[in-house]
Structure 1
Amino acid sequence: MPSEQERLSGAEKNFHPTAMGTLVSWTFGVGPRVVLVHGWSSRAAHMLGFVDPLLAAGYSVTLFDGPAHGEATGERASVVHMGEALLALTREWEPVHGVLAHSVGSAAALWAFHRGLSVHASVHLGGPVSLSVMVRQLAIGVGLDQAGTAAFEKWVEGFIGHPLAALDLEILKDGLRHPGLIVHDPEDDTVPFSAADTLHRNWPQSELIRAGGLGHRRLLRDPAMIGLCSDFIATAGSREMTRVNAGGEA
């Protein structure tokens, strides 16, 4: 089996100067573009399992290293930084057929949809839906008291340049105007399953799959789940394109 670097060497590699630093992308194949978005402390190569099934379905596939991850430069990373990076890149690549995102990359995609990114379908693997909840959980995890938690929340808001509430689903759900697939292990010990359930309940065009036994990261390596997600991008995206071309709302 080829290594990650060997596999990436077969793609078109590009460098993208942005406000978040220089991002690095790899594109395989030709056809409608599907963008893969990695999670926290990860990199583009961790999404490689989805490339071949999407290529076989007739799509081109683009992966990128987000700000301060992998080969990308930059000294700051957050959901907002990743979301803005996704927005900046997809403006170069328009139109984008679909997005497939993992963990924090999923939350970044929700931010990008809210900020104007339009796709025909998206897949969300083990993703959180509320920055407020994430920050409070982290504060509790490190033992901060009420005053310490409030100070931490204020620091995070300064770091991302937005109120925490701007990254909560109540605000972000206005960007969910396309079919979506949500995949989450009920026993995920990194992002609670309640996040997936909340996203599904607030997204009329979504489907929810309980991926028992796959945890938070094995979602990216399970052949059956990879095939299912790739099929969703192809079938849901094709239905959406047909609907839009027939005169429905985009």
Structure 2
Amino acid sequence: MSSKIYFRQDKKLNLRRVLVNLTTRFHHNVAPKHARKVAKRLLLTPERGRRNLAEPAGLIRRQIETTEGKLMTYQLGEGPTWVLGHGWSGSANQFYTLMQHIAASGYTALAFDNPAHGESEGQYGHLPGFVKAFDAVLDQQAQIAGVIAHSMGGAMVLESRHPLLADKPILLVAPVLNYTENLLNTVKQSGFSMKLFNEVVGEVAAQYQYPLETIDPLARLQQHPGRVGIVHDTDDRFASFEYSRQAGEWTHVSLVATEGLGHGRILASVPLQQAFDALAR
């Protein structure tokens, strides 16, 4: 499903929303098993990135085996490793510009495609699977210098309990810090049957032993013992800047507020590169 469904903040009542609600509720009532199957495909299938971006010279691709299937990783540079994680319907190639900057600064940039994204295996995507995949990537490392994450990838990093993260610096780009609240509100606003949505989410929660109500990236961020940088555009339409502003008041968090970069262009921006330089010192 498009990120516009999961992160859109459109509260206007419209005919499409009413039709979606009536259709999904009717389907669930008359054919619940088939409705769950269709809903799972709709709700948990991201848009695979089709960006034809030129690969940086020296980029190393490598597949790794995980419980979530084979993941494609992308490595550039030499030195201490910074791991980069993308968000919903994203892919590692969104980081190419930043990866080149990281490599030029004397570090290794290691990005990966999450399950069902980019060139990684998998049919379905969801936060519990993101966390498992991220942990599997970290398992391949003896140590890391820090982590960079975009959008829903920020929730992935903050939800991880991997020991390598410990007190490591984290750089969050346009993070969705109110992940659960945002998800529930936007699905409601789409008109999708909440009963059907809860059943699909419940299946994932049972499979991964990961109840939706336990997910709280903002609280995890407040508890993180290391330094945190946030780069977020004030007019971001998909991830609320207000929660980043709130987090920026904490002593261990540094916030860079940008304008005119939106949710995606910010990944190739100079302010983000400067925020990395400040955090990597």
Q: Partners of 2:199 and 2:221 in 1: how far apart?
A: 24
1:195 — aligned with what? 243
2:257 is the counterpart of 1:210: yes
Give the alignment of 1:147-166 within 5 angstroms. Answer: 148-160=193-205, 161=208, 162-166=210-214
Task: In structure 1, list runs of 5 or more residues that go unmatched.
Answer: 236-250
Whole-Å Cα distance in 2 between the matches of residues 132 and 198 of structure 1? 17
CA distance in 2, matches of 1:175, 1:19: 28
Distance 2:59 2:252 in 1: 33
Secondary structure of 1:25's aligned partner:
strand
Q: 1: distance between equivalents of 2:70 and 2:223?
A: 27
* 1:151 CA drift (Å): 4.5
In the alignment, residue 4 of structure 1 is paired with which amino acid?
Answer: L
Q: Which moved more, 1:65-74 or 1:126-135?
A: 126-135
**8 Å CA contact retained: 2:131, 2:156:** yes
1:120-199 mapped onto 2 (5 Å cutoff): 120-144=168-192, 148-160=193-205, 161=208, 162-169=210-217, 172-173=220-221, 176-199=224-247
Equivalent residues, number: 226
Aligned-residue RMSD, C-alpha: 2.1
Cα pair distance change 1:6/1:227, threshold 3 Å: closer
CA distance in 2, matches of 1:23, 1:77: 13
**1:40 and 2:88 matched:** yes
In the other structure, the counterpart of 1:229 is: 275
Q: Alpha-carbon deviation of 1:34?
A: 0.6
Name the structure 1 match of 2:154: 106
Shift in CA distance, 195/24, structure 1 to aligned 2, threshold 3 Å: same
Structure with bigger gyration radius: 2
2:258 corresponds to which letter in structure 1? A
Q: Which residue of 2 aligns with 1:4?
A: 53
8 Å contact from structure 2 (residues 91, 114) kept in 1:
yes
Deviation at 1:173, TM superposition (A): 3.9
The TM-score with structure 2 as length reference comes to 0.73
Q: Distance in 2 between matches of 1:132 and 1:6?
A: 34
1:127 counterpart SS class: coil
Once the two structures are TM-superposed, the CA of residue 88 in structure 1 deviates from its matched residue by 0.8
Change in Cα spacing, 1:229 to 1:171, as seen in structure 2 (3 Å) is closer
Decide whether the 8 Å contact of 1:115 with 1:175 is kept in 2.
no
Give how far 1:37 is off. 1.1
Aligned pair partner of 2:118 in 33, 49, 70: 70
CA distance in 2, matches of 1:100, 1:125: 7
Amino acid at match of 2:263: H
Q: Relative CO higher for 1 or 2, CA cutoff 8 Å, sep ≥ 6?
A: 2
1:116, distance to aligned residue in structure 2 (A): 3.5
Shift of 1:156: 1.5
Q: Identify the residue that residue 61 of structure 2 maps to in structure 1.
A: 13
SS at match of 2:61: strand
Alignment partner, residue 41 of structure 2: none
Measured in 1, the distance between the counterparts of 2:64 and 2:223 equals 25
Amino acid at match of 2:204: F
Residues 164-208 of structure 1, C-alpha deviations (whole Å, 9 max, x = no match): 12211365347611101011112111111123134445x541111
In the TM superposition, what whole-angstrom CA distance separates every residue of 1:25-81 from its partner, at most 9, and x where no partner exists? Answer: 111121100111112111111111112221222111111111111110011211221
Percent identical among aligned pairs is 26
CA distance in 2 between partners of 1:97 and 1:54 (Å): 12
- Structure 1 residue 159, shift from structure 2 partner: 1.8
Which amino acid in structure 2 is aligned with residue 39 of structure 1? G
- Which segments of 5 or more consecutive residues in structure 2 lack a partner in the other structure? 1-51
Normalising by structure 1, what TM-score? 0.82
SS in 2 for 1:69: coil
Q: Structure 1: which amino acid aligns with 2:278?
A: F
Q: Which amino acid aligns with 2:90?
A: S
CA drift of 1:152 comes to 2.0
Q: Does 1:116 align with 2:202?
A: no
In the alignment, residue 215 of structure 1 is paired with which amino acid? G
Distance 1:143 1:186, change over 3 A: same
